[in-house]
């Protein structure tokens, strides 16, 4: 597969190898997991005809079922069986944005700027378990250690505890309206479609690296991370899925328009079964087995 180049820490430079006059700096920026990153590939498994429009989020359930969330026309979540058939629809009241599995047969659902709360819904009983008042916009969301980390619009990146509902600010940088977030270990990864970049920060909000190369990744939306820390991003306007190395210095295109991608908006990596689910904004979704991770 084609390698598109490198990204230096906190810089927008990309698409050419990094060369430095000093050997010390060159040694520092060598990716520590080059071999694992180079071996990552995807093997096609199935296409799912979702019949959904405006898909914003997706997640896997432990039993292999898949949940897709869309904000129009009916603001709903649709649950699919592992074979791609529809299990059931879960109607939602609100402008559905993202969905994330949080354990105990439940998912967290965000609602963008149309609601100041995040709902926790039991997907077995199909009932509301808890409504978390966050007092802000809530877009992309990820689950980490009993807490939800969510894109809070003008407030930046926030975290809310499911146990006591306390809210902590991680970053105060304004988040874009279609921003998505993922977590792995003590790192957070989030997209900014307005600036065509992907950022990685620690749990305290300190930026570790920034990936930006509009020719490779345009209008990034969905984002997910595998067990090795490789970052998978859906390029809405570039009609592709790229993988970014754990240190943010390298990227490769894994899927493109020729693979059926047209405005892909949501992506999730199943770390238990090493599967990747990608959904177009309208129409089809695709499941791939990850190889070499």
CATH classification at residue 88: 2.120.10.30
Write the burial class of residue 203 (CB in 10 Å: 0-12 exposed, 13-18 middle, 19+ buried): middle
Domain range holding 9? 3-291
HEC profile of 105-154: CEEEECCECCCCEEEEEECCCCEEEEEEECCCCECCEEEECCEEEEECHH
277/266 Cα distance (integer angstroms): 8
216/167 Cα distance (integer angstroms): 36
Of 233, 200, 207, the C-alpha closest to 219 is 233
Q: With beta carbons less than 8 A apart as the criterion, state whether 217 and 239 touch.
A: no
3-state secondary structure of 11: coil
Of 135, 144, 228, 208, the C-alpha closest to 181 is 144
Angle ∠(156,140,163) on CA atoms, nearest 5 = 80
3-state secondary structure of 190: strand
Instruction: Find how far residue 10's CA is from the centre of its chain.
Output: 20
Q: What is the gyration radius of the CA atoms in the chain, in angstroms? A: 18
Q: With beta carbons less than 8 A apart as the criterion, state whether 265 and 236 touch.
A: yes
33/292 Cα distance (integer angstroms): 12
168/157 Cα distance (integer angstroms): 9
pLDDT digits (tens, 9 = 90+) for 85-116: 999 998 766 688 999 999 999 999 999 887 89
Write the burial class of residue 291 (CB in 10 Å: 0-12 exposed, 13-18 middle, 19+ buried): exposed
Tokens 């993922």, located at residue = 182
28/171 Cα distance (integer angstroms): 27
Query: Greatest CA span in the chain, whole angstroms?
Result: 62
The total domain count for the chain is: 1
pLDDT, one tens digit for every residue, the chain (293 residues): 444 443 333 333 333 233 333 333 333 333 444 458 999 999 999 999 999 999 999 999 999 999 999 976 667 899 999 999 999 998 766 688 999 999 999 999 999 887 899 999 999 999 999 999 999 999 999 999 999 999 999 999 999 999 999 999 999 999 998 999 999 999 999 999 999 999 999 999 999 999 999 999 999 999 999 999 999 999 999 999 999 999 999 999 999 999 999 999 999 999 999 999 999 999 899 999 998 76
Q: What is the pTM of this model?
A: 0.87
pLDDT digits (tens, 9 = 90+) for 52-84: 999 999 999 999 999 999 976 667 899 999 999
264/241 Cα distance (integer angstroms): 8
């Amino acid at each position: 597969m084609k390698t598109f180049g490198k990204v230096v820490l906190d810089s927008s430079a990309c698409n050419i190898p990094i060369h430095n006059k000093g050997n010390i700096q060159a040694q520092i920026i060598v990716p520590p997991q080059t071999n694992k990153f180079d071996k990552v590939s995807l093997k096609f498994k199935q296409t799912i005809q979702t019949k959904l429009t405006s898909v914003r989020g997706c997640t896997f359930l432990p039993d292999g079922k898949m949940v897709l969330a869309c904000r129009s026309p009916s603001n709903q979540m649709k649950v699919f069986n592992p074979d791609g058939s529809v299990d059931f629809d879960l109607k939602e009241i609100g402008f559905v944005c993202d969905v994330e599995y949080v354990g105990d047969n439940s998912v967290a659902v965000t609602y963008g700027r149309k609601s100041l709360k995040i709902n926790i819904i039991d997907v077995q009983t199909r009932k509301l378990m808890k409504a978390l008042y966050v007092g802000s916009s809530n877009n992309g969301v990820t689950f980490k250690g009993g807490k939800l980390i969510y894109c809070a619009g003008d407030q930046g990146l926030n975290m809310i505890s499911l146990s006591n509902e306390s809210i902590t600010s991680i970053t105060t940088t304004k988040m874009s309206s279609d921003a998505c977030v993922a977590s792995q270990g003590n790192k957070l990864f989030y997209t900014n479609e307005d600036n065509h970049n992907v950022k990685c920060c620690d749990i305290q909000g300190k930026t570790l690296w920034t990936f930006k190369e509009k020719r490779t990744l345009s209008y990034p939306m969905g984002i997910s991370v595998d067990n090795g820390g490789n970052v998978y991003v859906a390029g809405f306007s570039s009609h592709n899925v790229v993988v970014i190395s754990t240190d943010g210095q390298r990227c490769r295109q894994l899927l493109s328009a020729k693979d059926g991608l047209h405005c892909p908006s949501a992506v999730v990596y199943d770390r238990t079964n090493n599967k990747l689910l990608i959904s177009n904004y309208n129409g089809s979704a695709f499941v791939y087995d990850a190889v070499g991770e």
